[in-house]
Amino acid sequence: MVGAGSGVWKLLRCSRQLELHRLIMALIFFCLLSMAFLSYYVSNTPKIKEAPPLPLSDCGGGGAAAAMSPGTNAAGTDGGAPGVQRAPLFLPSLQGRLRQVKAVDNSRTQPVVLVFVESIYSQLGQEIVAILESSRFRYRTEIAPGKGDMPTLTEHNRGRYTLIIYENVLKYVNLDTWNRDLLDKYCIEYGVGVIGFFKANENSLLSAQLKGFPLYLHSHLGLRDYRINPNAPLLYITRPNQVEQGSLPGDDWTIFQSNHSTYEPVVLASTKSSEALAHIGSSPHRALHATVIQDLGLHDGIQRVLFGNNLNFWLHKLLFVDAIAYLTGKRLCLSLDRHILVDVDDIFVGKEGTRMKVSDVEALLTTQNKLRSLVPNFTFNLGFSGKFYYTGTDEEDRGDDMLLRHRLDFWWFPHMWSHMQPHLFHNVSVLAEQMRLNKVFAQEHGIPTDMGYAVSPHHSGVYPVHSQLYEAWKSVWGIKVTSTEEYPHLRPARYRRGFIHNGIQVLPRQTCGLFTHTIFYNEYPGGSKELDKSIRGGELFLTVLLNPISIFMTHLSNYGNDRLGLYTFESLVKFVQCWTNLRLQTLPPIQLAEKYFQIFPEERDPLWQNPCHDKRHKDIWSKEKTCDRLPKFLVIGPQKTGTTALHSFLSLHPAITSSFPSPTTFEEIQFFSGANYDHGIDWYMDFFPFPSNASTDFMFEKSANYFDTEVTPKRAAALLPRAKILTVLINPSDRAYSWYQHQRAHQDPAALNNTFHAVVTAGAASSRGLQLLQKRCLQPGAYATHLQRWLQHYQPSQLHIIDGALLRSNPALIMGGVQKFLGVTPVLNYTQALMYDDSKGFWCQRIEGGRTKCLGKSKGRKYPEMSEESRAFLADYYREHNMELLRLLNRLGLPLPSWLRQELQSTS
């Protein structure tokens, strides 16, 4: 019985365990099923849309009157509050002191800023340089000398610098006596001011007097509730606003105190706690302390602006720009006018869920009207691709209709019909047909087609230039203006520039942190605070501050959902007007382009870069194009030194290929030196074949006027930074005479009607033709000047100087050196390849049967010897130029040409 009962019990227990296992498995299955259902529901249910963020509110008055809190006097003191006194010891009476301040006059200086940095890698130094570059101000950086010589400050009785900036003001005040006296005398004599920064570190004293100044520094402070002194003389762009509540970033601030009348506070703030003031003395917690001060020059005759921190704080950047303007007498200063244009790309293009609905279009119109009250003529500029009209949800399609009903309330510009990238189209007719489809759509729906502005999808074909795009734009739309963020490169943004190509003006385009995927405020990359930071003193604000003209790129998706585009620009405009005196306005694209090139006429001519050196450029460059068609070396001249002979000798080498001949300039392309440059790099590359082996084939071109054309080295280095450079130098007197004879042979009236001596000695009253001939005779012979210009853009190791006299007498020797310099293989034996032709009087190609193949009749031309009178004149004229060449070659460690040794010996 016991055994039977035990068996039953075991059976029951096993049964219960089995049921428990089944129950657990059922629960697990149910949980998985629930999770799958929940996942499906979440992913397929529209998000509950939160209310779009509200833009920045109005300033609440601002301006000088509202810049101080109630009970605060104009000097920034809490005069009426019991137990609260003005932070000692800045003097409030500014008007009397201003009468003693000497007006800034640095007109005897070059408009260049000298910046003393701690190192080339220091963050503050880089931020200073970034603002100078963004403002297009010329500058020079130097490592701040602790000991040693100050850089040369004057030249030809003019100051070389109009402003001095010290990244660390202690390096300025602790200069040795000799250099400090030298710098101070320079600043006083030439009216040059100084900007200095003091950023406390772990070794900084809590309190100290600035050496040589009646000024005390108190460091390692946390500050809050900053305000701008509306009486500070340097204020120009900066507009004093009401007190900005809240903490300043960091706890390493420095404040300035002084009894001297020379100091005027610019920014004032309170300390975070009374404990922070223990090392200052009896100054109360609520007192205002200066974090930026202006030295009016009443102490020692030098005006200065000192910052008690670095440029990480946005307001310091704004005041830094004002300080530059004030201390340079507004010589380095942008106007208060700022033109902005907001492009809305991809109208009709967005995918479902990202497009604008009727309420979004209504909000767009409402915001546009609001902004027009702040920014005259403000109008959103809408870029469309007609193929995608009516491809959203029903609600979004109604939004499309709403846009078209209000089409005349906006400006419009075309994208591509199917939003394809133009660089993918190699046939201009096919590309133009795509554009015509978009134009027909515009005409059918009443969209204006006369704005003369277009933007290419993804900036394709604008830069690097796809010539078919420019042709199609002009033929279909009559485009006169476009914009891109890619010229010369996307980053750094401060380097973006404009240019004109094929009659179309290309303006720089700015990003504003809004891309196709940034549609929700709380999902902004890095958090919504990053967007607000960009607006309120960050990158977006600085773009407006430092650029007279800004075209902003936004997208359709930025105006649906949370409408970040509306939030961003309404907030930006209000913030700019709260804190600056800038005058914002909007112009249509054609007028905007005219304004841009009035301000920056030097940008009209482009500077072509190598597309293969920028991945973004290569991605939007035609796959049918290759940088392998660009030359590996250049023969740059100068003219009449034997470069044509060198060209013919190089062309004999099996691994070296010359450019195709030009129908107008023969073996020379003359791309970098003149009007041919405007054709662009597609035109240039057509002169070169596709190499059979890009690594071993050496393509080159020879244009002898490259040597002395001022713009050529910069242009060549931009497109061919790794190219090697060959130049041939002969006695400059012989070169000048040869050019004169060359022009006589080409029937130049000035050469035919004047002796060589008359040409080289012609005075300023001579005819224009004679002066031009004289210039072309004499100027190329200033060899050192032209070589130094090339060496500003190429390394000495990339330059090979050929002795023209030896090239004529012993070309095999010269060509051996050239092959070694180029690194070309196989090595050609030029002793066998060349043969001297007695009838011609120079070396020629050896061909079968012991015969020669020589250059044409124009080479080796016979003409009378130069007169002794002319040779003596030219020997004297070129004496200093030849000495400069001697010094340059010695500095580079290069051998002297035989003719130079002889010339120096004969004139010594």
Place of tokens 């001060």: 293
Alpha carbon distance 651, 669 (integer Å): 16
Give yes or no for a contact between 480 and 505, defined as CB atoms under 8 angstroms apart: yes
Alpha carbon distance 137, 481 (integer Å): 27
Alpha carbon distance 261, 100 (integer Å): 10
Q: What is the dihedral of CA 814, 817, 818, 823, to 10 degrees?
A: 160
Alpha carbon distance 687, 701 (integer Å): 9
Q: Give the bridge partners for 142, in sequence order.
A: 116
Cα angle 307-308-310, degrees, rounded to a multiple of 5: 75
Peptide bond connecting 319 to the previous residue in cis, omega within 30 degrees of 0: no
Alpha carbon distance 397, 380 (integer Å): 20
- What the block records as the tokens of 543 is 């773009």
Alpha carbon distance 386, 391 (integer Å): 10
Among 420, 419, 423, 388, residue whose Cα is nearest residue 403: 388
What is the total residue count of the chain?
908
Give yes or no for a contact between 441 and 386, defined as CB atoms under 8 angstroms apart: yes
Cα angle 444-447-451, degrees, rounded to a multiple of 5: 135
- Please return the burial class of 812, using the count of CB atoms within 10 Å of its CB with bins 0-12, 13-18 and 19+: middle
- Catalytic residue (one of 640, 820, 840, 859): 640
Among 296, 287, 299, 237, residue whose Cα is nearest residue 94: 296
CA-to-CA dists, residue 607 to 473, 488, 771, angstroms: 22, 8, 30
Cα angle 723-725-731, degrees, rounded to a multiple of 5: 175
Active site residue 171: no
Single-letter amino acid code for the residue at 851: R
Alpha carbon distance 217, 220 (integer Å): 10
Interhelix angle 539-546/314-327, rounded to 10 degrees, is 20
Phi, psi of 92 (to 5 degrees): -80, -20
The SS3 assignment for 385 reads coil
- The set of catalytic residues is 640
